[in-house]
Structures are given as structure tokens and as C-alpha cells.
Amino acid sequence: MTVTVRFAPSPTGRIHIGNARTALFNWLFAMNNKGRFIQRFDDTDIARSKQEYADSILYDLHWLGIFPDVTEYQSRRFDIYDAAVERLKAARVLYACYETPEELDLRRKVRRTRGLPPVYGREALTLTPEQVAEYQADGRRPHWRFLLPNFTSDPLQPERTEVHWNDLVRGEETVDLASLSDPVLVREDGTYLYTLPSVVDDIEMGVSHVIRGDDHVTNTGVQIAIFRALDAEPPVFGHHNLLTTVSGEGLSKRSGALSIESLREDGIEPMAVASLAVLVGTSENVTAAHDLNELAGHFDPAATSKSASKFDPDELFVLNRTLMHHMSFEEARDRLMVLGISGDKAEPLWMAVRGNLDRLSDALAWWQILSDGPQEPAEFSGEDRDFLNQAFDVLPEEPWNGTVWKDWTGKIKEATGRKGKPLFMPLRLALTGRTSGPELSDLLPLMGREGTLARRP
Ligand code: GLU
């Protein structure tokens, strides 16, 4: 059987790094198993779902290197869910309930005070036809609950009923169906909650592995029961730990925190995002993978920790710097061109500056420093000014070869007696306006003799 996975966000906001973790876990799992990847939008909540969010999610996935084999929208598949509802009703495992939220709330409170677990007591199953008729006459419409198979013959006498699965990430997992309320699958207004459409689609689309966040572990117990009620074999499940901010808060699509879009706008490379999103909270070291193939080689769902992982955005810059440092000119060329960095000097510039960049676009500042001089010329003491004048006096004549920097500084040493930092720092400041940056031996040839002399303070 072909391994088939799906990434199933609801399109209610921009995806964040935690969603990217789920998408990448699925994508890398498919890569490692020659499988298929379905992009499924869980957009049954018509009011909150938006096409523009679905489009932005696809854009973000493409940016990360994820190209789904197919894209599906649940909002276009209601007929299929309606048919499943009819099947469940016919099997008498979907039943009508008429309680209002306030009534349910009150009942939960009563159960708590009696020391009972606050689960739904299946009171709707005891309604007489007259009571139902009365509710209907009052204009109440039913919501529909799935009858969890947690009893022998009397649903009002639930018994401990364990559902087991071997989780790809967490190993042996157990959920006791008696500890849960019968889930509402269809609301009063006929709209679907996430639970049933997801199972129906996983069956219909041949999903073999469901890899998602561990906030769904309990759902899995319920959904396995629904798979069985629909005569389907449940897929393999894997629940990865969730990412939190450094202060321990969960990430939310709605808040926009750590959205893929904002990271992209900050100049973070897709492979920095992907490497951290996949490797944080696993037993693997977090290093910058060059591409998804390399990352797939480090990916092992079973190596993921069971507790939440803190995600530090600063680590993205560390990975970004590593990626810049190793990025070949061929890889950078087109993007540099878009920044206006082209021509003969583009490659030597890139090779000179790449080891000093936080983000690729920072190359532009160095390009401007080289072509137009320091952006903010430095201030020098009288002593340093004299030193620099002496230094510029001994600048070698052209043509220059690869040793010009060494030759020049040798001559400066001889002429001024300075060495070390007192020699290099004023030169660096005069030439670039900055106290740190790429090797001056690489930058000097790019300035040329004339360009260098133009920097004489
Ligand atoms: N729409 C669900 C979510 O975003 C999907 C969960 C699942 O993968 O089944 O949490």
C-alpha cells in the first residue's frame, strides 16, 4: 500500500512554525517512504475559513519546499459527510440530543459535586417520544452525538474500554473511552465539527498515516472508534510534541506569532525554518540542513520528545548564518540580482561577505559600501588621521594581485610602526565605516586603488 499522509490545517490564519512542524513531519515521512502527500483544508467552519488563508498556506508550504500531490477542501465534500452521517444513524450510533449549552453546563457541575467525571451522561437516550416532540414543538433542533462503544449492552452503564494504538512518535498509547463524553459530530445548525469529516476523508483518501500534534491524542481514541463504526481499518497514528514560545505559551494561527510569513519577511531562509521546525525537541542536534533531502535523512519520528518544546527564534538566525556561510554563488546569484547586485563583482562580493551575513539581503549594505563608500563615515582622532594619511600614502600601485592587502599592511607597519588592532581598526573604519565585517583582504581588491584612495579621511 502506498504511504499516504495529509496535512490538514483549517484555513483560519497564516501558518506558524508549529504548523510547519506538522507539515514537514508529514512531508519528510512521505519522502522517506516514497509516499503521497495530500494537502487538505479543514474548512467546514465556513464562517472562519477563508480562501486567502488557504492560498497563503499553500504559498508558505511551497516556500518551505513542500509541493502537495493533491489539494482538497472539506467544504466541497459535504455530500460525502452527509452519507456517512446516514450510515451512523442507521447503525444507531449517532443519536439526537436537545440540551442547550446552559443545561449541559449545569449537569456537568452537578456531576462534579457528586464526584462523578464531568462527561455527558447520555440523558438524550432516555428521552421519550413525547419529550422529543415537545422539544421539536419548542423549535429546538437536535445536535448529534456519536455513541462511543464503551459498554456491553446498556449505554447508560459505561465500562472501562481501552483503545490502543502503536504511535509512530509516542509508542504504545491507550485512551479509555469511558473517560470521554460522546462527541458531538453535527451541530444544531447541521454544520460539522472537525471529528467526523476528518475520519471520512482519511478513509476516502486512503490516508495510511495520520501525523499530527499531540493535542489530538484524545481525539484519536474517539476517531479510531469512528473508523471502526464505518467498517474501516484505522490508519497508523503519530502525535508529535507541540512547540511553545520561550515563555511557554502555545502558538496560534490567529495571533500571527512566529508565522512563516513573518519569518520570511525577516529574511530567514526556508531551510533554517525547516531545520529548526523538524529537529527542535528531538534527540537530533539542531543543525542547518542544506535541503529537505538532507533533513529527511535526520528525520525520525520516534526520536521526538513527548513533552512540549520551547522554540527560540534567535536560533533561526544562528542557522541562517550557517546557511549563508555555505551558500554557493550559484545558489545566491538570482536573489542577489534582484537586490541589484550583478556584474563581475557580484561573485567576489558574495564570496567575501557571505560568512558575515545574518540574512542574504544584508549583502546589499556591503555592496553599497563597496560601490559608494561607508554609509556613515567614521570620526577619527588626530593621531589616527595622521596614521591613515601615512597609510594611504603607501598604498601599492596597480595592478594588484591576491597579496595586495598583505603587501599594503606590511608597508604600513614599516612606515608607522603600528601593528595589530591599532593598525587594522582605523583602516577598517576608513574603508568600510564599520568596526567589523568581512576580511579586508577580500574587500580591498573589490574597491580598487581609486576606490580605496577615495576613502582617505
Ligand atoms: N484541522 C485539524 C487541526 O488543524 C487537523 C487535525 C488532524 O490532522 O487530524 O488541528
All structural domains of the chain with their residue ranges: 1-70+193-326, 82-184, 327-372, 382-453
Q: How far, in Å, is the centroid of ligand 1 from the Cα of 6? A: 10
pLDDT tens-place string over residues 316-334: 999 999 999 999 999 999 9
pLDDT at 365: 97
* Nearest CA among 149, 151, 167, 169 for reference residue 159: 151
Q: What is the mean pLDDT of residues 380-387?
A: 96
Tell me what pLDDT residue 255 has: 66
pLDDT over 70 at 256, yes or no: no
Helix (H, G, I), strand (E, B) or coil at 340: coil
| Per-residue pLDDT at 209 exceeds 70 | yes
Please identify, by atom number, the ligand 1 atom nearest to the C-alpha of residue 7. 8
Q: Residue 7 pLDDT more than 80?
A: yes
* pTM: predicted TM-score of the whole model, two decimal places: 0.92
Q: Which of 194, 214, 215 to mutate to test the pocket of ligand 1 (most atoms within 8 A of CB)?
A: 194
Q: How far is the CA of 358 from the centre of ligand 1 (A)?
A: 34
Q: Determine which residue's CA is closest to atom 6 belonging to ligand 1.
A: 8
Q: pLDDT higher for 128 or 256?
A: 128
Mention every residue, 6+ apart, whose C-beta is less than 8 A from residue 448. 398, 400
Confidence label for 106 from pLDDT (cuts 50, 70 and 90): very high
Select the more confidently predicted residue: 284 or 69: 69
CATH of 382-453, one of 1.10.10.350, 1.20.140.10, 3.30.930.10, 1.10.10.10: 1.10.10.350
Do residues 108 and 121 touch, judged by C-beta distance below 8 A? no
Q: Which residue positions form the known binding site for ATP?
A: 253
Name the closest-CA residue to atom 1, ligand 1: 9
Q: How far is the CA of 180 from the centre of ligand 1 (A)?
A: 19
> Per-residue pLDDT averaged across 140-153, rounded?
97
Please check whether the two domains, 1-70+193-326 and 82-184, share a CATH topology: no
Correct CATH for 82-184 of 3.90.800.10, 3.40.640.10, 3.65.10.10, 3.30.70.590: 3.90.800.10
Q: Which atom of ligand 1 is found nearest the CA of 202?
A: 9
pLDDT of 253 > 80? The answer is no
What confidence tier does 377 reach under pLDDT thresholds 50, 70, 90? confident
Q: Are 416 and 387 in contact (CB under 8 A)?
A: yes
Burial 155-180 (b: 16+ CB within 10 A, else e): beebeebebebebbbbeebebebbeb
Distance CA 218, CA 222 (A): 7
Atom of ligand 1 nearest to the CA of 198: 9
CB 10 less than 6 A from any atom of ligand 1: yes
Mean per-residue pLDDT, 242-264: 84
Reported as a single tens digit per residue, the pLDDT across 150-186 is 999 999 999 999 999 999 999 999 999 999 999 999 9
> What span, in angstroms and rounded, lies between the C-alpha atoms of 433 and 426?
9
> Which atom of ligand 1 is nearest the CA belonging to 10?
1
- Please say if the pLDDT value at position 254 is more than 80: no
For domain 1-70+193-326, give the CATH number.
3.40.50.620
Q: Atom 4 (ligand 1): residue with closest C-alpha? A: 9
